[in-house]
């Protein structure tokens, strides 16, 4: 069964796609143009009641929320492709811990920067300068903690690549390129080496090549 | 080995405590007074670099982030107490999906209400009325989706109680009592029945009895 992934242009579905590539799972994408409101149609809201991307469909099994989808496929195809959950219960605990940190500490300030720097004109909103400043300050504190963590182990959960690293790919990519904040990564030695390592994985290069972000002009 | 849980007065550690009770795991609590800055001491920051609660210590195995901790103990003690992760991979996927919804859709607006209605005077901040209004509007939309979901299955992930339900307990409790927003639950028939069911579990009654929230006066 080929897994359908809705919304490949956006950041969160890219987490799912890179995970499926790492696991060697066949998939096809279903474009959803959020700027045309395709995520708010009655049909789409039947799949994802909040109107967010991604959704996956696998036969008659539907899932949403990118990190839930990643966990499901990383577990379902445990015996093939890259092991993304750690080998032991304790390693899995560390993977889950840093996956939660990505979701609750790292991604919210980057999301604010994406909305208020990258997308404000496309969305027709006034960029909130105070929120931009607060988000940048918050991001620096998080990245200082990341630098400390990555000085002790090669990847977030230990000396193995996992969902905790993979889940950072789309939003660190936004920082590097369209947001022009490469220095926040490059100024931190261990974080910079980690980024070079994970962003050079063939899976992520394939995602960038085949699923570019939407045209914002 | 008795599990140490730091910060039992606060909401997020209560997720962990109710999970440990459901699983029949022995634990002891370590009070952390965040209003006295005990979560920012060098010792505490060694355990949790962001200065948040909870942290658990289990021998020399330390974990933070409440939902990561719950997953770890629900899996480690899978064969005892209440099954909280579902019985199949597909049920687990649904548990993870709704656990992510709790974290990303439900809890952020309730957190804003807690900070700006319940804690603003204690924290010495001016309550942001615009944020309060936006958070209430967002919360109503989320709860409408919850009502629809719970009209189709008794619990979030299906006809079984799971981490997806359990994880809502501390913040729905805040809505009911100190925030005085009982009507947002009671006005929705299925959500109201779900709340009566899960809040009457002996585990949650024990948490409320033994670990009351901090005195805000």
Residue B148: strand pairing partners:
none
Least confident span in A208-217, B67-76, B105-114: A208-217
Q: Which of A114, A107, A165, A116 is nearest to A138 (CA)?
A: A107
Interval A133-153 mean pLDDT: 98
pLDDT in tens, B172-216: 999 998 899 999 999 999 999 999 999 999 999 999 999 987 666
H/E segment holding residue A4 = strand A3-6
> Which residues of chain A neighbour B89 with C-beta distances below 8 Å?
72, 75-76
pLDDT in tens, A4-60: 999 999 999 999 999 999 999 999 999 999 999 999 999 999 999 999 999 999 999
Tokens of B148: 């629809």
Q: How many CA atoms lie within 13 A of B205 on its CB side?
A: 6
> Which residues of chain A neighbour B94 with C-beta distances below 8 Å?
63
Instruction: Tell me whether residues A93 and B71 touch, CB distance under 8 A.
Output: yes
Which one of A65, A100, A149 has the shortest CB-CB distance to B67? A100
Q: Give me the residues of A, 38-97, that contact B with CB < 8 A.
A: 49-50, 61, 63-65, 67-69, 71-72, 75-76, 89-90, 92-94, 96-97
Instruction: Tell me whether residues A50 and B100 touch, CB distance under 8 A.
Output: no
Distance CA A73, CA A57 (A): 12
Distance CA B165, CA B33 (A): 27
Task: Please state the ipTM of this predicted complex.
Answer: 0.97
- Report H helices in B38-181: 42-47, 66-76, 89-101, 107-113, 120-123, 129-150, 163-166, 169-176
What separation, in Å, do the N-terminal and C-terminal C-alpha atoms of chain B show? Answer: 37
Percent of chain B with pLDDT over 70: 98
pLDDT computed for residue B123 by the predictor? 87
pLDDT computed for residue B217 by the predictor? 59
Quote the DSSP letter at residue B126.
Answer: -
Q: Residue B96: closest CA among chain A residues belongs to which residue? A: A68
Question: A85 — phi, psi (to 5°)?
Answer: -115, 5
Angle in degrees, 0-180, between the axes of helices A202-210 and A11-23, rounded to the nearest 10? 130
Question: A141 — phi, psi (to 5°)?
Answer: -65, -45
Interval A87-108 mean pLDDT: 98
The side-by-side arrangement of strands in the sheet containing A55-58 is: A27-30, A3-6, A55-58, A61-64
Quote the DSSP letter at residue A209.
Answer: H
> Which residues of chain A neighbour B75 with C-beta distances below 8 Å?
89, 92
> Which residues of chain A neighbour B46 with C-beta distances below 8 Å?
none
pLDDT computed for residue B29 by the predictor? 97
Q: Hunting for tokens 């982030």 — which residue is that? A: B65
Question: B159 — phi, psi (to 5°)?
Answer: -90, 35
Q: Residue A103: closest CA among chain B residues belongs to which residue? A: B104
> Which residues of chain B neighbour A145 with C-beta distances below 8 Å?
49-50
Question: B160 — phi, psi (to 5°)?
Answer: -140, 140
Q: Which of A7, A30, A12 is nearest to A170 (CA)?
A: A12
> Which residues of chain A neighbour B101 with C-beta distances below 8 Å?
50, 65
Residue B134 contacts A where some CB pair is shorter than 8 Å: no
Q: Give me the residues of B, 154-213, that contact A with CB < 8 A.
A: none
Angle in degrees, 0-180, between the axes of helices B66-76 and A89-101, rounded to the nearest 10? 160
Instruction: Judge residue B189's burial from the number of C-beta atoms within 10 Å of its C-beta, 0-12 exposed, 13-18 middle, 19 or more buried.
Output: exposed
| Domains of chain B with CATH codes | 3-81 (3.40.30.10), 89-204 (1.20.1050.10)
Question: A64 — phi, psi (to 5°)?
Answer: -135, 175
Chain A: give the shortest CA distance to residue B188, in Å.
17
Tokens of A11: 């950041």
Tokens of A129: 């300068």
pLDDT computed for residue B199 by the predictor? 98
- CA B143 to each of CA A44, B44, B105, B192: distance values in angstroms, whole numbers, following the listed order: 19, 36, 10, 11
- CA A17 to each of CA A73, A76, B69, B81, B104: distance values in angstroms, whole numbers, following the listed order: 11, 15, 27, 36, 21
> Which residues of chain B neighbour A70 with C-beta distances below 8 Å?
none
Least confident span in A121-135, A202-216, B157-171: A202-216
What's the gap between Cα B157 and its chain centre? 16
Q: Give B105's pLDDT tier (boundaries 50, 70, 90).
A: very high
Least confident span in A55-59, A132-136, B19-23, B178-182: B178-182
């Amino acid at each position: 069964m080929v897994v359908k992934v809705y919304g490949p242009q956006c950041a969160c579905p890219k987490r799912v796609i890179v995970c499926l590539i790492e696991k060697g799972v066949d998939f096809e994408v279903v474009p959803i143009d959020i700027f045309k409101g395709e995520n708010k149609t009655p049909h789409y809201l039947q799949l994802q009641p909040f109107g967010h991307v991604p959704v996956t469909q696998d036969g008659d099994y539907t899932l949403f929320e990118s990190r839930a989808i990643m966990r499901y496929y990383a577990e379902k195809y445990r015996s093939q492709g890259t092991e993304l959950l750690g080998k032991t219960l304790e390693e899995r605990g560390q993977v889950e811990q840093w996956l939660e940190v990505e979701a609750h500490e790292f991604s919210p300030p980057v999301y604010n920067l994406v909305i208020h720097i990258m997308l404000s004109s496309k969305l027709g909103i006034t960029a909130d300068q105070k929120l931009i400043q607060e988000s940048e300050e918050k991001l620096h504190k998080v990245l200082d903690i990341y630098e400390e963590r990555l000085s002790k182990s090669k990847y977030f959960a230990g000396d193995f690549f996992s969902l905790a690293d993979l889940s950072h790919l789309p939003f660190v990519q936004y920082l590097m390129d369209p947001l022009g904040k490469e220095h926040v990564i490059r100024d931190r030695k261990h974080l910079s080496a980690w980024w070079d390592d994970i962003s050079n994985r063939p899976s992520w290069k394939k995602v960038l090549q085949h699923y570019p972000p939407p045209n914002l002009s």
